[in-house]
Amino acid sequence: MSAGEEPPASGPARGKTPRRPRPTGLRKRSLHLDSRGRARMVDVGGKAATRRRAVARGRVRMGRAAFDALAAGRLSKGDALAVARLAGILAAKKTPEIVPLAHPIGLESIAVECRLEAKSREVVVTATVSTSARTGVEMEALTAVAGACLALYDMAKSLDRAIEIREIVLLEKTGGRSGPYRRG
């Protein structure tokens, strides 16, 4: 072993899970880690159900030919905007199957909008999700946007393999103990 190298780490004792260092963050204790640093789903059983709403946005940028075909409704796979809206709704419903620590919650409303911006050749996808529950719907809104954006890529990829999915962000959320959030 040369200078500056650390000795190899010894493995955990048979049948024991190695202890991991706790990640540093904004809280002293991460809600998604147990006392041994292992991932777990947060217990929301003691929280009151409140009205929750989240809005997320993403952008899909494409070349001129693909954007023009999309805008004119001439893509070979059909109505891409309708497919994207449905894909976003389905993605929101499937969030706990995609995001391992997301709680399965009853969603009361999911709206996915796709707005064409000709100057930038972008489709701006916005998802609004709401419920009355013990946990928020930010992940459902973000997952809805991601699903819709992926569907748009799939629908137009035969005309443009360089399509970019960009800037998937949470715009706002309301409800819950942490209070409202609005992107600056």
User: Is 78 a member of any domain?
Assistant: yes
68 in a structural domain: yes
pLDDT in tens, 74-83: 999 999 999 9
Q: Is residue 4 assigned to a domain?
A: no
Residue 36 in domain: no
- Tell me, yes or no, whether 35 lies in a domain: no
Instruction: Provide the number of structural domains found in the chain.
Output: 1
Does a structural domain hold residue 32? no
Please check the confidence at residue 94 and state whether its pLDDT lies above 60: yes
User: Which pLDDT score, from 0 to 100, does residue 22 have?
Assistant: 46
Q: Is residue 27 part of a domain?
A: no
Higher pLDDT, 133 or 19: 133
Domain around 137: 50-176
Distance CA 121, CA 180 (A): 32
Considering only CA atoms, which of 87, 108, 86, 113 is closest in space to residue 98?
87
- Whichever domain contains 149, its CATH number is 3.30.70.640
- State the catalytic residue, choosing from 34, 43, 154, 160: 154
Distance between CA atoms of 165 and 162, rounded to whole angstroms? Answer: 10
Cα 53 from Cα 137, distance rounded (Å): 6
114 occurs within a structural domain: yes
Confirm whether 154 is a catalytic residue. yes
For 6, 7, 21, 38, 111, the CA distances from 150, given in Å and listed in that order, are 44, 45, 36, 31, 17
Three-state SS for 69-90 is HHHHCCCCCCCHHHHHHHHHHH
Report the C-alpha dihedral over residues 92, 96, 100, 101, rounded to 10 degrees: 100
Q: For 91-97, what is the mean pLDDT?
A: 97
pTM: 0.80
